[in-house]
Amino acid sequence: MENVDFLPLLGTDYVEFYVGNAKQAAHFYKTAFGFQSLAYAGPETGIKDRASYAVRQNKLTFVFTTSLRGGNEIADHVYKHGDGVKMLALMVNNATDAWKQTMVRGAKSYMEPTILKDNEGELIMSGICTYGDTVHLFIERKNYKGVFMPGFRKWESVYSPSDTGLLYVDHCVGNVGWNQMNKWVAFYEEVMGFKNILSFDDNDISTEYSALMSKVMSNGNGFVKFPINEPAEGKKKSQVEEYLDFYQGEGCQHVALATHNIVATVTELQKRGIEFLKVPTSYYDDLLDRVGTIDEDLMPLKELGILVDRDDEGYLLQIFTKPIEDRPTLFFEIIQRKGAKSFGKGNFKALFEAIEREQDNRGNL
Ligand code: FE2
């Protein structure tokens, strides 16, 4: 009986960001990341207190929402956290059951099952709270055939930059406070039926100066993965602590976006102005000794700063952007998996040293 998945998830439905200026954020993600206009909600569609822009690239849907006035949940969220991830929305077959199953296991409700209707059908949405002010929405859209969801209209735009090959959300990482990692691991296990598939302690993730701990939580079918980070004691300030200071609490640290061709994707992103963390070129001197034969040429990886790691099942290529807002908070990972199901443990040291150099530049190390 315990083998029955009480919370079957079909994948990530969308990621919603609360931002200071949704119109400009949507333009940035179209221009720099290659998303396409999808849908709009705001005063013109009967929504009086906010404006939301949905953009899409393959299976990736991002929504940018801003408040039109102060003194509400959206405005308060932006005031406290800056631009950041509010909703990690998960696709389900039954949003009512998802809410009931998680509530009975101790979830805190964000939204009771709610039916949203328009001429295109009905969509059922419910939600529970997770770390910080972050929310998991459950989205049931099997009886909805509209462009995004009721309340939104199709967003027609003459401006549509080409895509950059981004495909879907690979994983979303949460940063939580001191001694809070195991509490949130228990939440994902007990409330959402996830399993802890990998753990990293401060011996795995430490440099000379700073450290963090991480546990990777996965749902039953592996479509949804949420690693949870907690700062660890080091000689200097952990990158997770810097995030917590500037986000003013727990929240989403990075969203990993999958591609089938990381060299082409990252070449295009860099051309469009996205800045990435750089490891020293010495990283590449013994790379092939560490990871063995790979399909890609070494030179473009080195020029772009793409990292490689191997596990028992294959290898992966990955690279991390610098924070994409002024606060040193949310950033993105671009990842191409070639068999590997892990998270690049072999790159942690080089990567965290690169992050520390950035932290030091900000005076936060
Ligand atoms: Fe990651």
Q: Tokens standing for 343?
A: 């998270």
In whole angstroms, what is the distance from residue 356 CA to residue 305 CA?
17
Tell me the CA–centroid distance for residue 82 and ligand 1, in Å.
21
In whole angstroms, what is the distance from residue 133 CA to residue 18 CA?
11
Tell me the CA–centroid distance for residue 212 and ligand 1, in Å.
14
Tell me the CA–centroid distance for residue 103 and ligand 1, in Å.
28
Domains of the chain by residue range: 11-154, 166-362
Tell me the CA–centroid distance for residue 243 and ligand 1, in Å.
15
Q: Tokens standing for 324?
A: 């994409």
**Beta-carbon neighbours within 5 Å of ion ligand 1:** 256, 333
| Radius of gyration of the chain measured on its C-alpha atoms | 20
pTM of the prediction? 0.96
Q: What is the per-residue pLDDT for 235? A: 81
Residue at 28: amino acid letter: F
Tell me the CA–centroid distance for residue 217 and ligand 1, in Å.
12
Tell me the CA–centroid distance for residue 340 and ligand 1, in Å.
13
Q: What is the per-residue pLDDT for 80? A: 98
**CB contact at 8 A, 63 and 15:** yes
Tell me the CA–centroid distance for residue 154 and ligand 1, in Å.
32
- How are beta strands 225-232 and 166-175 bridged, if at all? parallel
CATH code of 166-362, in short, is: 3.10.180.10
Q: Which CATH topology does 11-154 take?
A: 2,3-Dihydroxybiphenyl 1,2-Dioxygenase; domain 1 (3.10.180)
For residue 1, is pLDDT > 80?
no
In whole angstroms, what is the distance from residue 89 CA to residue 75 CA?
20
- What's 364's DSSP letter? -
Task: Express each pLDDT in 134-154 by its tens digit.
Answer: 999 999 999 999 999 999 999
Tell me the CA–centroid distance for residue 31 and ligand 1, in Å.
23
Tell me the CA–centroid distance for residue 195 and ligand 1, in Å.
17
Residue closest to 44 by CA, chosen among 171, 151, 129: 151
Torsion over CA: 57, 166, 326, 28 (sign): negative
One-character DSSP codes across 195-229: EEEEEE-TTTSB-SS-EEEEEEEE-TTSS-EEEEE
Q: What is the per-residue pLDDT for 204? A: 79
Tell me the CA–centroid distance for residue 78 and ligand 1, in Å.
24
- What's 131's DSSP letter? S
- What's 339's DSSP letter? B
How far separated are the first and last CA of the chain, in Å rounded? 49
Q: What is the per-residue pLDDT for 135? A: 98
57-71, 255-269, 348-362: range with lowest mean pLDDT: 348-362
Q: What is the per-residue pLDDT for 2? A: 54
195-209, 226-240, 311-325: range with lowest mean pLDDT: 195-209
Task: Express each pLDDT in 260-284 by its tens digit.
Answer: 999 999 999 999 999 999 998 899 9
Which of 238 and 183 is assigned the larger pLDDT?
183
Nearest 5°: phi and psi at 299?
-60, -50
The residue to which tokens 């099942």 are assigned:
313
Helix (H) or strand (E) holding 109: strand 109-118
What count of other Cβ atoms lies within 10 Å of the Cβ of residue 346?
18
Q: Do domains 11-154 and 166-362 have the same CATH topology?
A: yes
Tell me the CA–centroid distance for residue 190 and ligand 1, in Å.
23
In whole angstroms, what is the distance from residue 86 CA to residue 183 CA?
20
Q: Tokens standing for 118?
A: 């328009």
Q: What is the per-residue pLDDT for 234? A: 84
- Contact residues for 54 (Cβ-Cβ < 8 A; gap 6+): 14, 38, 39, 40, 61, 62, 63, 148, 152, 155
Tell me the CA–centroid distance for residue 96 and ligand 1, in Å.
30
**CB contact at 8 A, 288 and 298:** yes
In whole angstroms, what is the distance from residue 54 CA to residue 36 CA?
9
